[in-house]
Amino acid sequence: MKNLQIVLCLLACLCVASVVPIAVFFQYYCLIPIAGAFGFYIAMFAVKRASTHKPEKPSFMKSDEENARIHASQEHDKDE
């Protein structure tokens, strides 16, 4: 997932870098790479958000075994 974030960031940077040459020759067509850069930027943060996981919390709706497992994994994470 980290590689995909880097690729999307580089694509967004390339789109931003291409805006000036396109604007010089084709005027309003420079809006296309601006939209592309914005799209890659949003995709990069969507991938980042999807790759991070939220820690599971104990709940009264879960069985005692599940809550014990969750509590044990949280203690293990604190040790690291």
Q: In this structure, what token pair is assigned to residue 80?
A: 């690291």
Given a contact cutoff of 8 angstroms between Cβ atoms, the answer to whether 34 and 19 are in contact is yes
Q: What is the pLDDT of residues 7-16, one digit of tens each?
A: 999 999 999 9
Start-to-end Cα distance in the chain: 23
Provide the 8-state DSSP code for 58. -
Given a contact cutoff of 8 angstroms between Cβ atoms, the answer to whether 30 and 17 are in contact is no
* Measured distance CA(64)–CA(45) in Å, rounded: 36
The total number of structural domains in the chain stands at 1
Q: What is the pLDDT of residues 54-75, one digit of tens each?
A: 766 666 677 778 878 877 776 6
* Full residue range of the structural domain in which residue 34 is found: 2-79
